[in-house]
A and B are shown apart, each in its own frame.
Chain A
Amino acid sequence: MNMHSVPAITDLPRFSLLGMTAIIFEAPGAFDLDHQRRIWAMADIAATWPNVREAVPGMTNLSVLFHRPLADPQDFGGKLVELWNRGVSKDVDGRNIDIPIIYGGEGGPHLQEVSEMTGLCVDDVVAIHSAPTYPVYAVGSHAGYCYLGGLDQRLFLPRRSVPLLSIPGGSLSIAGHQTGVSASAGPSGWHTIGSAKAAFFDPQRDPPSLLAPGDTIRFHPEKVLM
């Protein structure tokens, strides 16, 4: 398998324990919006089940968190598989948000490297990165961070071998088949190619996260700095 491509997983849905109060369900098949819509639908339904604290979409997977440990995790996992097999899909009529980006410069220190690693010139990297309308697949990692689908294959790169101790909030990064904007300062193993000023999270706001799964983002190149 090409390590830089979207990783394939098994043909069958599977679930596994994540400690005593969480289960991860992994969808089979391709990494695409159709599968993700089924994960969103599962999350909505599973969140209403007894003892479920939250059902949180990942990237074609679902984490279900419990108030108390389960009496029978196998039985619960079986219910998740059943739910997946029902094939319920959720088509979100989400919001579309434009995020102005300054590509390169101090806020995008790896833009040049990404250009070299992909064999594309900087302008092409920016053009290719800012072309798609990116669906928000999932929110997580840190508060307000959005996992986006739809990155162009030409920008697929492995994570950095040495992670950076901290990148500032607003950093736009890519790695693997993913791209996203950090909502707050923190460590990162991704390639940072630009920066945004948008406030993706505010604990005093309701809801606190700017975006939710099913919303879409477009990046608008404000400037490209070398």
Chain B
Amino acid sequence: MEILSSTPLATIQDLGRFDHYHDGVGRSGAMDGLALAIGNALLGNDTNAAAIEIPLLPFKLRFDEDLDIAITGADCEALFDDVPLPPDWALSVKAGQTLTLSAIREGCRAYICVVGGFDVPEVLGSRSTQLRETFGGHEGRMLKKGDRLKALGTSVGLPPGGLGATPFRQETGPVTARVLPAAEYDRFTAESQRSFWTTDWQVTPQSNRNGYRLSGPNLTMKDASELRSHGVVPGTIQVPMGGQPIIQLADAATMGGYPKFGTVIEPDHWRLAQAKPGTAIRFVEVDYPAALAAQAELDAYIADIRAAAGRQRRAASGWQS
């Protein structure tokens, strides 16, 4: 397929680059791991198949072969030639047809998944784009007009009209992100702890794949001091001297020195990924068992989609396989 138009920051991402933290290589990977999981489940892909992550629209591409694809993530105006598509949908496309993603209605990152995932070289165990170090993904960089990409597969036998996934949960009001307290939590003042859990934190425009800077009341420590540099993971909420928290995300550094208030649990990272600047985020404290239960709930949801999509694909192929 050929990219006919793109905006900056569209990249190839899979689940991320693990096992090289000791080299200082951050995780990278899809910001919205749930959207990636849904797309790969609808297509019966390996869970780590690589997709295109698109944080800004419009994005347009033309297919040069018959192929099954899925569009997931942000709810946006998706046109397959002239036909509008519902969110979280998989369909078969023919050579010469186009896909246009334009105005976002809800969320902020869309994903295009293809059968088998995108065919880019695996580097250090992943196909994700490592933007800072400029390797992985497609030539180690953001996608641009004129780029040609290939899928590793072609067709998985989708039903006519395609198939979709029911949304995980319809939510209204501020985005909620569940948090496990981290090493320096007890060193913040009682008032700061209180305001952390009760504030509607605003996602500021200084937010990207590295992390989100939030705006709200200043958080202060009882005993401010610089820490010895230590490991940081996606989801870590750091509080620099200024008092305004930063949530480290997919492209975060592997080590840092700011005090850590807590860590947004993995099953809620997708909510952050879809929170655009201006969105309000509310943090909810959880303990480890509650975090495990949240992960299990999300895993079960994805497993259900995978099973249901598998049944529909087999039905469409007359239960031949």
CB proximity of B22 to chain A, nearest CB, Å: 5
Number of interface residues of A (CB under 8 A): 50
Which of A73, A178, A204, A208 contacts B288 (CB under 8 A)?
Answer: A73
For window 146-165 of A, CB contacts with B under 8 Å fall at 147, 158-159
Q: A147, B19: Cβ atoms under 8 Å? A: no
Stretch at the interface among A52-60, A100-108, A121-129: A52-60
Q: Which A residues are CB-close (under 8 A) to B171?
A: none
Q: Decide if B226 touches A60 in the complex (CB within 8 Å).
A: no
Q: When the two chains form their complex, are residues A65 and B233 in contact, meaning their CB atoms are under 8 A apart?
A: yes
Q: CB < 8 Å: which of A14, A63, A186, A209 contacts B132? A: A186
Note all chain A residues with C-beta closer than 8 A to B181: 17
Q: Across the two chains, which residue of chain B brings its CB closest to A22? A: B233
Residue of A nearest to B224 (CB): A3
* Cross-chain contact A17 with B255 (CB below 8 angstroms): no
Bound CA–CA A140/B255 (angstroms)? 6
Assess whether B130 is interfacial by the CB under 8 Å rule.
yes
How many residue pairs between the two chains, A and B, have CB atoms under 8 Å in the bound complex?
152
Kindly identify which residue among B123, B228, B230, B288 contacts A63, using a CB–CB cutoff of 8 Å: B230
Chain B 110-144 near chain A by CB (<8 Å), digits 1 or 0: 00000000000001100000101111100000000
Query: Which of the segments B23-31, B55-63, B100-108, B195-203 contacts the partner chain?
Result: B23-31
Q: Which residue of B lies closest to A71 (CB)?
A: B292
By the criterion CB–CB under 8 Å, are A3 and B225 in contact? yes
Chain B 135-164, CB-CB to A under 8 Å as 1, else 0, gives 110000000000000000000000000000
Q: Do A178 and B253 form a contact, CB below 8 Å, given A139-B24, A184-B132, A201-B23? A: no
Q: Which residue of A lies closest to B264 (CB)?
A: A19
Interface positions, chain A 16-42, Cβ under 8 Å from B, are: 16-22, 24, 26, 31
* CB within 8 Å of B: which A63-87 residues: 63, 65, 69-70, 73
Closest A residue, CB atoms, query B140: A203
Q: Mark A122-144, 1 if CB is under 8 A from B, else 0.
A: 00000000000000001111111
Residue A219 lies at the interface, judged by CB distance under 8 Å to chain B: no
- Within the assembled complex, what's the spacing in Å between the Cα atoms of A145 and B255? 10
Q: How near does chain B come to A206, taking the closest CB pair, in angstroms?
A: 10
CB-based contact A69/B132 at 8 Å: no
Q: How far apart are A50's CB and chain B's nearest CB, in angstroms? A: 16
B265 at interface (Cβ–Cβ under 8 A)?
yes
Interface set of A (CB-CB < 8 Å, partner B): 1, 3, 7, 9, 14, 16-22, 24, 26, 31, 53-54, 56, 58-61, 63, 65, 69-70, 73, 138-145, 147, 158-159, 176, 178, 183-186, 201, 203-204, 207-209
A-B pairs with beta carbons under 8 Å apart, 6 shown:
A17-B180, A17-B182, A26-B183, A26-B230, A61-B231, A69-B295
Known A18-B260, A69-B291; further 6 A-B contacts with Cβ < 8 A: A24-B183, A69-B295, A139-B24, A141-B254, A183-B24, A186-B132
